[in-house]
Structure 1
Amino acid sequence: MENKLLILLISLFTFGFTSAAGIMKKEGLTEKEQKIVMISAFTADGNLEKLNKALNEGLDAGLTVNEIKEVLVHLYAYSGFPRSLNGLATFMEVLKDREARGIKDQDGRNSTPVPKDRDSVKYGTDVQTELVGMPVTGEIYSFAPDIDEYLKGHLFGDIFGRDILDYRTREIVTISALTSMNGVNPQLAGHFNIGMNTGITKEEIEEIIVIFKEKINRKQADNAEKVFESVRK
């Protein structure tokens, strides 16, 4: 009888501890988001060999074909057409190889068609204001108003306006790309703030930096860490 009671008490204690551990489980980047960090970084950096591996891992983690295509298209706004096109070409090779090996990847849904009467500049201005937290003005936009129109109309209106990726995911892509690039610390700092406005936590940004340290590029991670530290002050 005493043994049975002891076993019952141990079972209840173990259950309670396990349940508490489940409640206290640390939130962070999902496995898919971790793969997006690596896909974005290697695309922006032009490391196609490592990108090939990251793309395979992304598909294995459950990212759809259309989600990855959208990541690679989104990146042209930050790393340029050559990197984006090379990324897409590499992705095509990956899909052909996987198909030859009998792997069937999910295409996933397409982006909702954009209303024909949408004013991209007006819509993009609203999106930019929401992401930044205030209307965006500055001397550089007065000096070159065309760049202001392109940013609002095309980047925030046409690209961010596509709903296949949400704002949070697009900022993970953007932060990862900028972290892998040299000479863009002001933009990286800005997108750390924008990313947090979309719901990315400070701990998740730190997780992105850790991924860079362990799997991408330590020097770039150290730079991002310093930039993020200045943002947090």
Structure 2
Amino acid sequence: MRINEAARRYHEGMFPDYESKFMETDPEFVERFDNFAFDEVVNQDDLDDRTRMMAILSVLIGCQGIDEFKVMLPAALNFGVTPVEVKEIVYQSVPYLGIGRVFPYLHAVNEIFVSRGIELPLADQATTTTDNRLEAGIQAQVDIFGESMRDFWQSGPEESKHINRWLADNCFGDYYTRQGLDYKQREMITFCFLLAQGGCESQLTSHAAANMRLGNDKMFLIKVISQCIPFIGYPRSLNALRCVNEAAAKSE
């Protein structure tokens, strides 16, 4: 096998003393994938390992790659992603994918945490109550998207305006207000959830703009997309790149 030294070192950092069974059954594939994903891709830019791993975990939830998620979660922990950050990534994926698709990830995280001696439950991270979640969610929307979102929660046709309220009190008031991740990190993982599941280009463009507004600029988002290509493929990555370019053009 001709896995190069850079890829070997990176793989060892992710998975110390572990050799995949695919080395025996699919050596040609492992050679090409590892050299690409763990040398060419990771050395393409200066994105730090923690951010890279947070993005990878997020896109694996978004594309429903549960088996690869189970593989990459220990690597993310080895590269400094904290248990709280992992839980927050999974929790925040619920309003973007629904519990039907996230349920297996809750189990996977708990199983891996227990196997590593991480005591559950983790410390509480909620900062809102049922009484103030709407107000806090509205403020989060304003902080992220701008003042135009102040009254969004009560806009729309009478028969569907409750959904805009839920976006404020549930999606933002229940999740974005939690500790463990800041707004920039939360918008980055939301961008990853959306780009990986596909069919969400309108929302993806809006959240690309929100990322830029918070300081996750166009080049940062391109770095995130680039690092996720081995895990979600080219079509959805290219769609995401188009959305980023559209959002950047509108902001100029």
- Superposition TM-score, scaled by structure 2 size: 0.72
Of residues 130, 142, 147 in structure 2, which corresponds to 1:134?
Answer: 147
Deviation for aligned residue 1:94: 2.4
Deviation for aligned residue 1:181: 1.3
Residue of structure 1 equivalent to 2:132: 119
| 1:176–1:106 distance in 2 versus 1, CA, 3 Å | farther
| 1:215–1:108 distance in 2 versus 1, CA, 3 Å | same
Deviation per residue, 1:13-71 (Å, 9 max, x gap):
xxxxxxxxxxxxxx953311110111111112111111112211111111121210111
Aligned 1:29-108 pairs, distance under 5 A: 29-97=47-115, 99=116
Deviation for aligned residue 1:95: 2.7
In structure 1, what is the Cα distance between the partners aligned to 2:130 and 2:110? Answer: 33
| 1:31–1:108 distance in 2 versus 1, CA, 3 Å | farther
In structure 2, what is the Cα distance between the partners aligned to 1:77 and 1:115? Answer: 17
Matched, 1:176 2:205: no
* Most deviating of 106-115 and 184-193: 106-115
Deviation for aligned residue 1:196: 1.4
Of residues 177, 180, 190 in structure 2, which corresponds to 1:161?
Answer: 177
Alignment check: 8 A CA contact 2:145 2:213 kept: yes
Aligned 1:139-218 pairs, distance under 5 A: 141-143=155-157, 144-218=160-234
In structure 1, what is the Cα distance between the partners aligned to 2:130 and 2:228? Answer: 42
Gaps of 5+ in 2: 1-44
| 1:86 counterpart letter in structure 2 | P
Alignment check: 8 A CA contact 1:111 1:164 kept: no
| 1:196–1:229 distance in 2 versus 1, CA, 3 Å | same
Alignment check: 8 A CA contact 1:64 1:106 kept: no
Deviation per residue, 1:196-230 (Å, 9 max, x gap):
12221211100011112244311111111111111
| 1:47 counterpart letter in structure 2 | G
The total of aligned residue pairs comes to 203
| 1:115–1:225 distance in 2 versus 1, CA, 3 Å | closer
- Select the structure of larger CA radius of gyration: 1
Please give the root-mean-square deviation of Cα atoms over the aligned residues, in Å: 2.7
In structure 2, what is the Cα distance between the partners aligned to 1:86 and 1:118? Answer: 30
Could you tell me the percent identity over the aligned residues? 20
| 1:108–1:226 distance in 2 versus 1, CA, 3 Å | same
| 1:49–1:115 distance in 2 versus 1, CA, 3 Å | closer
Name the SS of the counterpart of 1:29 in structure 2. coil
* Most deviating of 211-220 and 66-75: 211-220
Deviation for aligned residue 1:83: 2.1
Deviation per residue, 1:51-101 (Å, 9 max, x gap):
11221111111112121011101100101112221111122232344x3xx
In structure 2, what is the Cα distance between the partners aligned to 1:157 and 1:84? Answer: 19
Residue of structure 2 equivalent to 1:23: none
Alignment check: 8 A CA contact 1:28 1:203 kept: no
